[in-house]
Structure 1
Amino acid sequence: MAKATTYIAVTGHRDLRPEDLPEIKVKVKEKLIQITRDKDLGTFRLLSGMAEGADQLVVEIAREIGIPSTAVLTAQNQTMELPKGLDRHILPVHNPSENEENYFEALGNHLLAEARHILVLWDGVYNGKRGGTSAVVKWALEGDYKLNLHHLVVPRSINPYPLASLLPKSLAFTQEKFHRIPFTVHFSWVEVALPLVKKEQFFKKIWNPIGRKLGSQVFLSFVLPMLLVLSTLALGTFGFLQILPNLDFHNALFMAVNLITFNNSVIENSAVPIALNLARYMGLLTALSAFTIALYFALGQERRRLKLIFWQRFYPHQYIVVLGAGEKSLTLVKDLCSCRKKVVVVSPEENQPFTSEIQGTGAIWVKGSTNAASLLKKIYHQKADEIYLLDEDDTNNVRTTLELDRISGNIPKRQRWFVHLQDSSLKTLLYSHLESSSRDRMHIFDICENTARRLQLFFPFDRFYQSPNAEQAMVVIVGFGKLGKEIALNALRLGHFPGKKRLKVRVFCHNAMAAREEFLNSYPVFNTHPKAHHLQELIADLWEKDSLEFYDLPQEDAARLSGKSPLFAEILQTKNTVSLYICLENDLNSGAYLSLLLPKLNRYKQQKDCNLQVFCYYKFPNKTEEKNTEYRLNQLAPEVPVRCFGNLLEECTASAIRDRALDALPRQIAYWYMQGYGDRSLEIDRVWQESSEQEKESNRHAADHLWVKLRSVWREIDWKFHPETFEPLLDPDIVAFHEKRLSQAEHRRWCAELLLQGFRPLQDEPGVMEAWEQWEAYWYKQGGKKILKAEKLHLDLRPFDALDEQEQQKDLDQIRTIPKMLQAIIRS
């Protein structure tokens, strides 16, 4: 019996750079060998459209390995000369007048329909070209195909700066692991397995609306009883006419009516027709349904309490409480209910659209104060598997958490609290006021912070490994709401690089002066007013004078598109890696604003060879609409990567909130620091649980910057991870050189973090420098460290070279521990 053939397809760019071909050949050959390992090569076949570039290159490599190949040709190239031994398959022609794009589209659909594996040699840019490489990827992701996408990240002649667009789909966050490093690396593979989902989707598409209607109150209260009554009458009438042939129709009908009241339900005749037996039971069901409906309405509000009792008793692992009303909580409730969770929502006010949508999901809505102990007990909060605190006001979430802490006497250990807080001071306050058991079950999160961290993890603004001649990372933010501020702050925390590379943040918003003053009030470290000597020197070392600039957002189209506008002048240059974030409060305005800019951005990128990526805040509550918008934006600028981000449908789901992968590396940092300078007997989970919220935040920032460090040295040391040791094989002198540079960068990052928290150098306190040795003794030996830190003073806020050898060694040890930490979180 002949074995089934496994098809491997290829799609990719025609304009691969000649200097990249040797590296691409090595990578493709390795991948083909991996796919076919330990199997008969004769059972595989490569499908290729035989275009110049990637198609022909992969065919050449497959033939070297011994994989049979087939050229899939269209009417336009069916007569092309093929290499000897290559099969030919001609796609049928439906319309001879079709243009070239239609042929490419037909080719792409054929490859996806036939292939089990598809090699994609792609720069990661969705350029909107019909039938192009990015279109094939888009169809694969959105269609009904069971295949494995193997994306080789490659530059091309018209775009030397590729990105790994499929990275977010390939990393296993729910397992707190990474399959690979989470940023784009030239000639690296990104793997995405696509399951066949059409049947499941079709079933859900048909059944879900039916299920919702069958479970509606109108159906259960009126439609179902009416159907039972009519069925009883029809079957009963027919049955009585069968058993009593001399009975007229009217008498048979009224005898059927008596079945509902059980008057004619007992029949002496032993040969009862099937129809009449069915009618008897239908009558019983009708009476029972009438009784049930009467009881249902008689119970009134007690129905909700009975439902809560039933849920918490029989579904303890699916019972979930959501406290607070708003867009975030509504999105979360919809997600939880779609996963068949039993959800109760508490909000203080009846917002009709909100409550109607909540009740439409199948959740129970309860009106009342989220921090009232009596109400929390009434909804059986102690039985919930998870509690989400999602009030729009941080103070309400803090008060509710404190109340939960106070009444949490018999709460099971498995219960988890997810508390949404944006104010860092409230995070610290809350953590310090909780019992240890409550701290263990609590997870504090911030939607905007998580969005910014994930976005800059996958698509970093410091792309010097792609553009080694670039001098600065340019972060341009249009709109300065909550999300815009978080992106700016994250950049200011992370933008500290080895060597002379610098960061510049340029903000465009309405009423820029007021926005600037508000920001400086929160973070006065960026204020240009004269400061104490050591603080001034430190700020100059961390952030140049012009590292943070505010500009009014141009209102007129002519001003927005002017080449002299600050939005274009000195930004789109070869010396910059540019990340443009359009995050106006109204997401539709973001899309409209970006649509106007993209054609010019596309031209400038090509003319000035600028490493540019664009991100558009878009939270339309429909993922299909978001994808279509992203696709249209990419069509306006085919050479510029444009991505939508910030959709609550992704950021406010239960899996995203529970997602602990972003904390996988911070946990490792906390653990290894404890191994070096604390209690070595503690397990990693206990170390993390006993860390304060401020310590957790610090470790998160250090973890995010670890990837900055790796990117900064990637081109120079080609840091390839050994699956067991993760050690780079380098000359010891080179290792020492990079360790020193990375240690300096880590210290600068740490200083920036403390300055953003409001800390000041101890050296600027009056009289300190005159008695420096006494203050050092007080800090290290006499318990002064804890006291002075409470005053937001720190002895080590100074340049790296001015640190004591012991403090320098701490930074150096963290750099040397990087391979161990990566080994713990990256699956080989």
Structure 2
Amino acid sequence: MSPGSHPSYLHHERPRWQWWALALAIASAYTLGAVGFWKYDVDHGGEGHVLDALYLAAQLFILNAPALPPPLNLPLELGRWLALGILVAAAAITAYRIFTGEVGAITLSFIKEHVVICGRGSIVLDMVRSQRARTPRRRVVVIAAADDTDLIEGCHALHAIVLVGRPSLILERARLSKAKRLIAVYEEDGTNVEIAVRAWALSRASRPSTAPPLDCHAQVSDVDLRDSLRRRHLPVQDGRCRVRFFDFFDDAARDVLLTQLPLDRQGIGHSDPRQVHLVIVGLGAMGRRVAIKAAQLGHFANRRPVRISVIDRAAGEREQEILFRYPGIRQTCDLTFHECAIQSTQGQQLIEGWCAANDTMTSIAVCLDDDALALDVAMRLLPIIHDTSIPVAVRMSRADGLTSLLTEHVAPPEASRSLRAFGWLDEACIARLLDEDAREQMATVVHVNFVELATSHGRQRAFDEAVKQWEDLVNEDYKESNRQQVDHIAIKLRAVGCELVQASESRPEAAFSAGEVELLAEMEHARWVAERLLAGWTYAVKPKNEAKRTSPNLRPWAELEDHIKEYDRDAVRAIPELVRNVKGEKICRRSER
């Protein structure tokens, strides 16, 4: 696995005290038995041969020791009973494992609405543990490799059913025709795609048409591969299996830009002259996800798109790669590349200049693949940002180790104020895979609202893919568009001095004024245009052409017809009810705290 191509998962070290206890018990039983036999021989007039005593002690473990007339000495009594206990315990453990496997095989014939997880290592164990904690009655089936003994033993301890073998060959035994969800999280993207395609084929062949579709989630860390699969609608979505390719990096990038930094701090109002500036140090897998997410989300009330500056040793090569995959990205943001090492004088001078600028709202994301180097770079930035409020997010691949310096208040106060760690797999990421999270629910409602308005304008599902029901959408781009609209809600609210709070709070709920609706609708259109351009769409006169990925609405807000603007206004007006019904929250003015 190349560095940065996949998230690193926490390693749950296998407890070793059982093995030490077993070894100590065997050694004790053998020693006591040997001493006891030797002493018994001596006490009864024998010559006390040591080899004979050792041989007889070994026979204690196979219940073949000679029956000696009493009285027996204490070491011999202790040794033989301890040996018997060890033998009984070993037999019980063996029987338990065999019984567990047989019961699992029998149980598998009757379960339904279960979750199937394919993968290796502790990430799968974390998912099983999380699923059992969230819905104890829902069964979990794990497909594991024969050599992944830690995973197999851990899953048995958590009462999960384990199938051992190559996933594509034994997937049928997991009863996908009755399953609720399949998750593939192998480190190899190709393996996960193979599982998704196989699950799709099995569902088409065996899943009843009246049953809800199987939700299949496959981890694909290669951004380019995932986007290519989405754009080509592979595999074809149908009513029996819904395949979604995801990346843990996506969640991390979205979280750091919207929550941990965030890009717009307390908000960018319509009269704010500053330009939001994101500095990305290192454009590996995580750096690229952060850059793309920033281009998607960085659209603010002052109409100034986000500025993205990249520092990377291979910036020229990285620039060509990103422009090849996202040819429209420069239309969505102010993007520049700087080929140098962050540890160099040039890199330091760039950072110093950006941090000193008064006309920008700067944030820094250190996205290096080496945790130690990333933390070192972040600590060296502290003197530069000491007198500023510039936040620095540091990508860490693990939640333990070096990350604890930032999360456990070990670092100096200035580091705790300015630095924050992001990027590792946590419980929240796992939960989003195991259950439909609020973001997905909100995206579904957003689409329903859009369809209602679109059909009232005469758009027909038979001719327009975008107005089909959520579960019937073949083009994943349309679902992703709704998800990104949900993501942008936080930036919109901050632009008008609002925030989300629990519905039970005593503060009055805010209502958008007509001017705010218009402002936020214009922001939504700018976000939508960026999202379409990054997805490979271009402008062309009417009509919209899905095959060629052209749209007549990829124009500035002022050039749109009013009925097109109404889609964005309607989306803004729906925000209060959306967050109230799905998240149990309401919108309040920050000024009324």
- Give the TM-score band, short-chain normalised: 0.7 to 0.9
Change (3 A) 1:622 1:800: closer
Deviation digits for residues 514-572 of structure 1 (CA, Å, limit 9, x no counterpart): 21111111111246xxxxxxxxxxx4xx54xxx1111113465433333xx3x232443
Cα pair 2:355 2:385 within 8 Å, conserved: no
Query: What is the aligned counterpart of 1:424 among 205, 215, 227?
Result: 227
CA distance in 2, matches of 1:285, 1:357: 26
Give the unaligned 5+ runs of structure 2.
1-11, 48-52, 133-139, 457-467, 586-593
Shift of 1:725: 13
Shift of 1:618: 1.5
Partner letter of residue 539 of structure 2? P
Query: What is the aligned counterpart of 1:580 among 343, 355, 364?
Result: 364
Deviation digits for residues 228-262 of structure 1 (CA, Å, limit 9, x no counterpart): 66778999999x99xxxxx94979x9899789348
CA distance in 1, matches of 2:128, 2:33: 36
Shift of 1:817: 0.9
Query: Which residue matches 2:279?
Result: 476
CA distance in 1, matches of 2:536, 2:582: 32
Query: Which residue matches 1:812?
Result: 569
CA distance in 1, matches of 2:234, 2:508: 37
CA distance in 2, matches of 1:416, 1:405: 10
Determine helix, strand or coil for the equivalent of 2:555: coil
Determine helix, strand or coil for the equivalent of 2:531: helix
Deviation digits for residues 635-656 of structure 1 (CA, Å, limit 9, x no counterpart): 28459521011123x2796335
CA distance in 1, matches of 2:37, 2:444: 71
Q: Give runs of aligned pairs for residues 403-482 of structure 1, distance below 5 A.
A: 403-408=198-203, 409=206, 417-421=216-220, 422=223, 423-429=226-232, 432-439=235-242, 444-459=245-260, 460-463=262-265, 465=267, 469-482=272-285
Determine helix, strand or coil for the equivalent of 2:240: helix
Which segment is superposed worse, 499-508 or 809-818? 499-508
Shift of 1:494: 1.3
Cα pair 2:266 2:494 within 8 Å, conserved: yes
Query: Which residue matches 1:749?
Result: 527
1:613 aligns with 2:391: yes
Determine helix, strand or coil for the equivalent of 2:488: helix
Query: What is the aligned counterpart of 1:672 among 430, 443, 449?
Result: 449
Query: What is the aligned counterpart of 1:737 among 498, 506, 515?
Result: 515
Query: Which residue matches 2:298?
Result: 495
Query: Which residue matches 2:17?
Result: 213
CA distance in 2, matches of 1:236, 1:379: 54
CA distance in 2, matches of 1:226, 1:737: 82
1:551 aligns with 2:342: no
Shift of 1:491: 1.1
Partner letter of residue 576 of structure 2? P
CA distance in 1, matches of 2:29, 2:575: 70
Partner letter of residue 551 of structure 1? H
Determine helix, strand or coil for the equivalent of 1:561: helix
Query: Which residue matches 2:550?
Result: 793
Query: Which residue matches 2:7?
Result: none
Shift of 1:458: 1.4
Query: Which residue matches 1:641?
Result: 418
Query: What is the aligned counterpart of 2:434 among 643, 651, 658?
Result: 658
Cα pair 2:118 2:186 within 8 Å, conserved: yes
1:706 aligns with 2:489: yes
Determine helix, strand or coil for the equivalent of 1:568: helix
Deviation digits for residues 757-794 of structure 1 (CA, Å, limit 9, x no counterpart): 1111122xxxxxxxxxxx5xxx4xxxxx5xx1121111
Query: Which residue matches 1:333?
Result: 124
Cα pair 1:451 1:651 within 8 Å, conserved: no
1:626 aligns with 2:403: yes
Shift of 1:826: 3.4
Cα pair 1:480 1:509 within 8 Å, conserved: yes
Deviation digits for residues 380-407 of structure 1 (CA, Å, limit 9, x no counterpart): 7779886431234434322221112223
Cα pair 1:386 1:416 within 8 Å, conserved: yes
Cα pair 1:651 1:657 within 8 Å, conserved: no
Change (3 A) 1:432 1:674: farther
Query: Which residue matches 1:388?
Result: 183
**Identical columns (%):** 21
Cα pair 1:265 1:280 within 8 Å, conserved: no
Cα pair 1:725 1:819 within 8 Å, conserved: no
Partner letter of residue 559 of structure 2? A
Shift of 1:810: 1.5
CA distance in 2, matches of 1:340, 1:674: 34
Cα pair 2:264 2:276 within 8 Å, conserved: yes
Q: Give runs of aligned pairs for residues 177-576 of structure 1, distance below 5 A.
A: 212-214=16-18, 216=19, 248=44, 260-261=63-64, 264=67, 308-313=101-106, 322-324=117-119, 329-336=120-127, 344=142, 346=144, 355=148, 369-371=166-168, 373=169, 375-377=170-172, 387-408=182-203, 409=206, 417-421=216-220, 422=223, 423-429=226-232, 432-439=235-242, 444-459=245-260, 460-463=262-265, 465=267, 469-526=272-329, 539=331, 543=333, 547-554=334-341, 557-562=344-349, 565=350, 567-576=351-360
Shift of 1:825: 3.0
Partner letter of residue 826 of structure 1? K
Determine helix, strand or coil for the equivalent of 2:328: helix
CA distance in 2, matches of 1:636, 1:231: 59
Deviation digits for residues 410-437 of structure 1 (CA, Å, limit 9, x no counterpart): 6997976431134123135466524422
CA distance in 2, matches of 1:742, 1:583: 31
Determine helix, strand or coil for the equivalent of 1:391: coil
Change (3 A) 1:761 1:307: same
Partner letter of residue 709 of structure 1? K
Give the unaligned 5+ runs of structure 1.
1-204, 242-246, 297-302, 528-538, 606-610, 680-685, 764-774, 780-784
Change (3 A) 1:727 1:761: farther
CA distance in 1, matches of 2:505, 2:292: 36
Query: Which residue matches 2:136?
Result: none
Change (3 A) 1:658 1:288: closer
CA distance in 1, matches of 2:391, 2:245: 31
Cα pair 1:336 1:343 within 8 Å, conserved: no
Q: How many residues align?
A: 530
1:696 aligns with 2:465: no
Cα pair 2:32 2:75 within 8 Å, conserved: no
CA distance in 2, matches of 1:508, 1:502: 20
Cα pair 1:389 1:420 within 8 Å, conserved: yes
Change (3 A) 1:465 1:728: same
Shift of 1:689: 3.5
Cα pair 1:476 1:505 within 8 Å, conserved: yes
CA distance in 1, matches of 2:198, 2:256: 34
Cα pair 2:267 2:497 within 8 Å, conserved: yes
Larger Rg: 1
Structure 1 length as normaliser, TM-score?
0.54
Work out which structure has the larger RCO, using CA pairs closer than 8 Å and 6 or more positions apart in sequence: 2
Shift of 1:496: 1.5
Shift of 1:340: 10
Query: Which residue matches 2:137?
Result: none
